[in-house]
């Protein structure tokens, strides 16, 4: 288990990380989200001991994390870097050796990992011959091939197309099943919502949300209604408690409420003549919550 307690890092008078605390249990995934400059990468660098905290503790399985623990960490930085003139195979072996593994342990796993991430190229190919997307996948394999117990991924989905993003997601979930702790940052709230068990939202170095994903969403109330019925946009807009009505491309309506209880009245009116194709009342998305919380914090 990774535990961060009251972590603080300043640069002069600027608080990059401001009294941050969270836990990641084995076999769980935490998303660290926030605007650029919110403190995500600084938090990762503090965990990895690239930076020294002004105060706070970082614990691994109840003990202060130390240099002997770093071999069990896999880290993918936002700024990717591989040796372009070195072969895929030699590169993966080299990075694994830096984490305490031997060539004998890693070499038999290389074909499996290249297949899992559908890397187009032979393991003897030099990295510079690969496309940018395949280079990203090789760097991800270098992060994971030693099967770390703690995985830190800084914007891992950046630049990946939907197919490769799905491969990455499957790779992350497979290590979760093996009991690894995973923490990653992303600007894509959809990825966070689909993958994470837990999230921490940062703004100006401070935690403004910390909890289980679905519980956080539910705490904001079911203020979104998706409707397909005989009711018109103008009829719904006249109801008290309706703050916005938008017609989507599929002709259904997206309704925003100031009070979730108004959904009952909309449902009653929409079903007055019987069956309707769709009524779906949901809490706001993570993206909407993110905009709301960041906006509040900046006021």
Q: What's 75's domain CATH number?
A: 3.40.50.300
Is 178 in the same domain as 42? yes
Tell me what the mean pLDDT of segment 32-57 comes to. 94
pLDDT of residue 15: 95
Facing residues of 20 across strands?
7
Residue 255 lies in a domain: yes
Tell me what the mean pLDDT of segment 263-267 comes to. 97
Is 226 in the same domain as 136? no
pLDDT (tens digit per residue) in 219-238? 999 999 999 999 999 999 99
Is 178 in the same domain as 269? no
151 in Cβ contact with 181 (< 8 Å): yes
- Rounded to whole angstroms, the Cα distance separating 297 from 206 reads 10
Is 29 in the same domain as 96? yes
Q: What's 269's domain CATH number?
A: 3.30.70.980
Structural domain harbouring 275: 221-282
What crossing angle do the helices spanning 132-144 and 162-177 adopt, rounded to 10°? 0
pLDDT (tens digit per residue) in 127-148? 999 988 888 889 989 999 998 9
Burial class (CB in 10 A: 0-12, 13-18, 19+), 284: middle
pLDDT of residue 264: 97
Residue 292 lies in a domain: no
Is 61 in the same domain as 161? yes
User: What number of other Cβ atoms are within 10 A of residue 26's Cβ?
Assistant: 14
Give the residue with greater pLDDT, 243 vs 169. 243
């Amino acid at each position: 288990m990774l535990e961060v307690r009251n972590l603080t890092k300043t640069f002069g008078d600027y608080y990059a990380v401001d009294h941050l605390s969270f836990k990641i249990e084995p076999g769980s995934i935490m998303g660290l989200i926030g605007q650029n400059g919110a403190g995500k990468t600084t938090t990762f660098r503090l965990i990895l001991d690239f930076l020294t905290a002004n105060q706070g503790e970082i614990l691994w399985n109840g003990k202060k994390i130390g240099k002997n623990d770093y071999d069990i960490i896999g880290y993918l930085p936002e700024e990717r870097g591989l040796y372009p003139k070195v072969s895929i195979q030699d590169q993966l072996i080299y990075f694994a050796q830096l984490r305490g593994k031997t060539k004998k342990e890693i070499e038999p796993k290389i074909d499996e990992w290249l297949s899992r991430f559908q890397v187009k190229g032979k393991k003897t190919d030099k990295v510079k011959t690969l496309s940018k997307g395949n280079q990203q996948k090789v760097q991800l394999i270098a992060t994971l091939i030693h099967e770390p117990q703690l995985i830190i991924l800084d914007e891992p989905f950046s630049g990946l197309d939907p197919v490769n993003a799905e491969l990455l997601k499957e790779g992350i979930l497979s290590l979760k099943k093996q009991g690894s702790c995973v923490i990653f940052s992303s600007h894509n709230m959809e990825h966070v919502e689909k993958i994470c068990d837990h999230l921490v939202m940062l703004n100006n170095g401070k935690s403004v949300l910390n909890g289980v994903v679905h519980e956080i969403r539910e705490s904001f109330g079911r203020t979104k209604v998706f409707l397909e019925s005989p009711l018109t946009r103008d009829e719904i807009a006249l109801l008290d408690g309706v703050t916005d009505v938008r017609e989507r491309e599929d002709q259904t309506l997206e309704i925003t409420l100031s009070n979730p209880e108004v959904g009952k009245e909309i449902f009653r009116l929409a079903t007055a003549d019987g069956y309707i194709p769709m009524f779906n009342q949901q809490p706001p998305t993570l993206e909407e919550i993110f905009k709301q919380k960041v906006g509040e914090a900046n006021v």
